[in-house]
A and B are shown apart, each in its own frame.
Chain A
Amino acid sequence: MTEQPTQTSAAAVPACIDAESLDAYFGASRVVRDVSFGVRSGEVTSIIGPSGCGKSTLLRCLNRMHETIPGARVEGEVRFEGRDIYAPSVSAIGVRRHIGMVFQRPTPFPTMSIRDNVAAGLKILPRSEQLSRRETDDVVERALRRAALWDEVKDRLHTSAVAISGGQQQRLCIARALATSPTVLLLDEPTASLDPLSTQRVEELVYELRSDVTIIIVTHNMQQAARIADRTAFMLAGELVEYAPTNAMFTAPRDPRTEAYITGRFG
């Protein structure tokens, strides 16, 4: 229980997302084991660990995406701003509107233009919150600017979204997630399929976005975690081994397994 001390100190500040004794299953196999941790607002939190350690699954538990896979289920509690998102009265759709997500591979909708991709999340809002065409255009521009993509696509907003480069597509997906003004943004290895330059752009973006969106990022890349995260969680075989401020974890890990991993002795 090495994460105990940091946890108690984290609990003092109001947490944005709080997971408690979280278990996630695929059928009978338990891929996330009794994970408890709190994510603070306005911070970048990274989850690192070797392949198959359950870090992506843990992330997908936080916006109820895990349950979309047949045979998958979640036990335990995840509180978002104090409310349990797995409570029977809470709809998964509402949760996902507040907690956006971007995946490993860019997923622009190929049938939609760049503009319509960014506006995709707005179109499904309840009728009372529907925006006019003008307002939608404004939101689209703001989202694309926040995703540092506006200058590159402003002249071709109405062309196909799959005609732009992979790095641009990924930033388009970030813009699409930002358009609905989520409180939290979950990034599941967002740079794994990008070249180093595009990776750098996305990292800069994460750094800039931290002021108004709480970001949780899963990454394979420890340097990336060290560069952009305020806090880092290390997972191994479904368990949360250590959760601490990034600096502390990379300079003075408490757990020998964390030390072995970050010094490259395995993984």
Chain B
Amino acid sequence: MMIQPQTASSPGLARRPALARSYRDILAASTERTLRRRHVKSYIMVALTYFAAVVATLPLLLILWHLAKQGASSLNWNFFTRMPAPAGETGGGMANAIVGTGILILIASVLGLPIGIGAGLYLAEQRGTRLANTVRFLSDVLNGLPSIVLGIFAWQMLVRPFGHFSALAGGIALGAMMIPLVTRATEEMIRLVPVSLREAALALGYSKWRTSLSVVLRTALPGIVTGALVAVARVAGETAPLLFTALGNQFWSVNLGQPIAALPMQIYTYGISPYEDQHAQAWAGALVLLGLVLIISVAARFVTRSRFGLGAGD
């Protein structure tokens, strides 16, 4: 193999001039062939990535279509205003679960946003220190923690000692899920703020904390709000941490110390029930939940396009 003449690998150049083709012609021909081959390759790769992009959006489109088909028929004003009907009866709504999900998200945000944003600010401002690296690593681990594990943990810490399930425990479990998401989003956004801006503030006589809050955090705010909304959308649909904490509730309750209904759990309960009507209600509930998440995501995009802020100038 090794002693084969090198020309074997480039047949175009091995030909004799007797074939009446100049070196230039040969080169042109081979260039054209290479070009054609590259074009074909390019088309194939573009087609593949196009296919992958379509497949990536396919699940969402299918889910939307399916939910709309199955759930739209049960979706009416009553669904938002009425309490669940007793098993076997038709009609009724999920008012308690919709309000419950709202309350749980509120508790989770009150806990998760300040801590997450504060931690993110710390990680970005103290980057490189050992504590910051440790916190970042642990935050990533927490982010990857299966939500059911978080649910069991919250049960152990917040339900068992008190002897009953509660909305508060559910909200705290969701908040704990939000913290690492918000932390990393905040850190990434703050890192995008140029050092020169920080220096400009310091040179004006701003103190360190004032620079962090009114210049750095303020500049990164649109991005942080987006990250926070994405985190809210993410936990809004979580079921596992709620199973052991908020438990769910057939009745109207806004008491934080009592079990509370939530859309994902209601969907689960109705979905595995034997009644046709409850199945339809579950579909409608899923549609509402998806709608809620979509609205939050769209809001997130709008916030990013605010007047001032990073990227507004270019």
Contact = CB atoms under 8 A, between A and B. Distances in A.
B61 interface: no
Interface of A: 63, 65, 68, 70, 93-94, 96-97, 100-101, 103, 105, 107, 109-112, 120-121, 124, 160, 162-163, 173, 176-177, 180
A68 B313 CA distance: 28
A110 B199 contact: no
The size class of the interface chain B forms with chain A is 20 to 34
A110 B203 contact: no
Given A110-B308, A111-B218, A111-B219, A96 B204 contact: yes
B59 to A, nearest CB: 38
Given A107-B199, A109-B219, A124-B210, A162 B313 contact: yes
Interface of B: 128, 194, 196-197, 199-207, 210, 215, 218-219, 221, 307-310, 312-313
Nearest to B215: A109
A63 B200 CA distance: 12
18 contacts: A63-B203, A65-B202, A93-B205, A93-B207, A94-B205, A96-B203, A100-B203, A100-B204, A109-B215, A111-B219, A111-B221, A124-B204, A124-B206, A124-B210, A160-B308, A163-B313, A176-B204, A180-B204
A63 B202 CA distance: 10
Residue of B194, B199, B215, B221 with most partner-chain A CB within 10 A: B199
Contacts of B310: 110
Contacts of B201: 109, 120
Nearest to B198: A68
Given A109-B200, A110-B313, A111-B219, 19 more contacts: A65-B199, A93-B205, A96-B202, A96-B204, A96-B205, A100-B204, A103-B199, A107-B196, A107-B197, A107-B200, A110-B310, A110-B312, A120-B204, A121-B205, A124-B205, A124-B210, A163-B313, A176-B204, A177-B204
A105 B312 CA distance: 18
Nearest to A176: B204
Contact of A68 (B199, B204, B218): B199
Nearest to B208: A68
Contact of B196 (A68, A103, A121, A124): A103
